[in-house]
Structure 1
Amino acid sequence: MLEIRGLEVVFDGFRAIDGIDLTVDQGELRFLIGPNGAGKTTLIDVITGLTRPAAGSVRFGGTELVGHKEHKIVRLGIGRTFQTSVVFEELSVVENLDLAASFRRPLAALLRQRRGVSDTVRAALETIGLTDLAERPAGVLSHGQRQWLEIGMLIAQGPKLLLLDEPVAGMSKDERERTGELLTEIAKDHTVIVIEHDMEFLRRYASQVTVLHEGTVLVEGDVAAVQADPRVQEVYLGRSREDAA
């Protein structure tokens, strides 16, 4: 589904991404990890059109993304979240979801007042577990619930690929567990790429992991293989193999 070849991004002489090759298959739940400055968020920015690469190719379903504007990439079926959730606090949960789903509607439909809840919005509510809070203002939600709402807003847009930037940052243990279950559920119908630093969360929910370091792919594989790799322990985990077990 996603094929990246020879990707380079340079900021004022600094190589934020230095020749990355990366392939993500349809239906994968792929985790990206690496120390600060490894290029994780920059990579997501390139995929979504926020940053223009200096060189290389990013193909999504056979379509070249380099040179596309952000809104066109969204319409191709790619959605993302940011490290800080972005929801409309004054609107209710269901209104946030309805607004997110509306970008595919014709202008005439947008001008009509919402009547009831669409099947798309109802399905998103059920997936993120916020049906009972549908009419609550988003501003009163907990941190975890706001993150789930933002993920639901992506789902309501009907994307094929979801890019999630540190979705469990700042969450409680129960919220992290619920989020892991949510990602597992979403991955049944979508391809999901997750940037994450929480190693306990990674060990529990990741299948395939890509480790970035200094703008390059250091190692890829399943959780056990990546965790056991001495290069990962040195540059990311910062601890011995015994400690990492």
Structure 2
Amino acid sequence: MSGTLLEVRDLSVVFDGFRAIDGVDFTVEQGELRFLIGPNGAGKTTLIDVITGLTRPASGSVRFEGWDLVGRKEHEIVRMGVGRTFQTSVVFEQLTVVENLDLAASFRRPLWSLARRRRGVSAAVEAAMATTGLDALAARPAGVLSHGQRQWLEIGMLIAQRPRLLLLDEPVAGMSGEERSRTGELLVEIAKDHTVIVIEHDMDFLRRYASQVTVLHEGKVLVEGSVDQVRSDPRVQEVYLGRAEDRDKRPAGGGRAGAAGEGRTGSAGAEPAEGAAVGSAAGEVT
């Protein structure tokens, strides 16, 4: 695969006078496994929200395969081939793994056809189970799956919809070391047939699996390039390490209350979901 799949130009998002996104240009080629990183409040989730139609920008354009996405409804963008996960997995706990996947794969069918009893499993569902390694758990209710397995199921539900672009918001948050490795391998496998954008804070995970990286800071693109280029860039080191040093210099007792707002500078309402603490990533940038 080659050619531009996603093109964002001069994008701005304003929340109550605060610029959560400020003139961002962002291009992703077909077949890329792109990682999107930055401190809390940098604009990562807001950018994904705009691409998927959840947030309306103040200005700028978002084009997917040449089609403008701004102003389209979320379900229209899904049907165009854009799928996303959120930081908290969204699966139907009472349904089995295969039923969750089948329901996701059915989104293009008319409503009346969903009431018909289907025989067997579709090729899309079988492929999603094989890719995510959930074959052996096909008959198990989603509610009893481990945290990592639920994340894989949600990724499988996206794959079953056959999107061309997958947007994954912190897919390894809360996972064990073994689950993180399995997820990294899964992302590499998926990227063979899809374009994938991953929001992530874990720098070790980034080093192991990223090909291209975009760093956002205060709503702007700070730097783009390979993992090595990004890690060695003094601007990235200043953004991450400078914040970690400021945190370490706080007087005793200032602790967690101060750290909770670290890096947001008035943007707490802009990106409530951008979870992990900057400090855990900061010490791993160099």
Distance 1:135 1:242 in 2: 42
Distance 1:135 1:210, change over 3 A: same
Within 2, Cα distance between the matches of 1:146 and 1:177? 15
Question: How many equivalent residue pairs?
Answer: 245
Unaligned 5+ runs, structure 1:
none
- Structure 2 counterpart SS, 1:120: helix
C-alpha distance in structure 2 between counterparts of 1:119 and 1:76, whole Å: 20
Q: Tell whether the 8 Å contact from 2:69 to 2:77 is kept in structure 1 after alignment.
A: yes
In the TM superposition, what are the counterparts of 1:1-245 in structure 2 within 5 Å?
1-238=5-242, 244-245=285-286
Amino acid at match of 1:172: S
Deviations 1:211-243 (A, max 9, x none): 000000000000000000011011124479997
Whole-angstrom distance in 1 between the partners of 2:190 and 2:153: 13
Taking structure 1 as the reference length, what is the TM-score of the superposition?
Answer: 0.97
Counterpart residue identity of residue 30, structure 1: R
Residue identity in the other structure for 1:85: S
Q: Deviations over 1:107-154 (max 9, x none)?
A: 343121132111110110000000000000000000000000000000
1:171 alignment partner AA: M
> 1:26, 1:118 → 2: CA distance?
26
> Whole-Å Cα distance in 2 between the matches of residues 109 and 183 of structure 1?
32
Amino acid of the residue matched to residue 104 of structure 2? Answer: A
Structure 1 runs of 4+ off > 3 angstroms?
237-245
Gaps of 5+ in 2: 246-281
Question: Aligned-pair RMSD on alpha carbons?
Answer: 1.5
Rounded to whole Å, the distance in 2 between the matches of 1:79 and 1:213 is 25
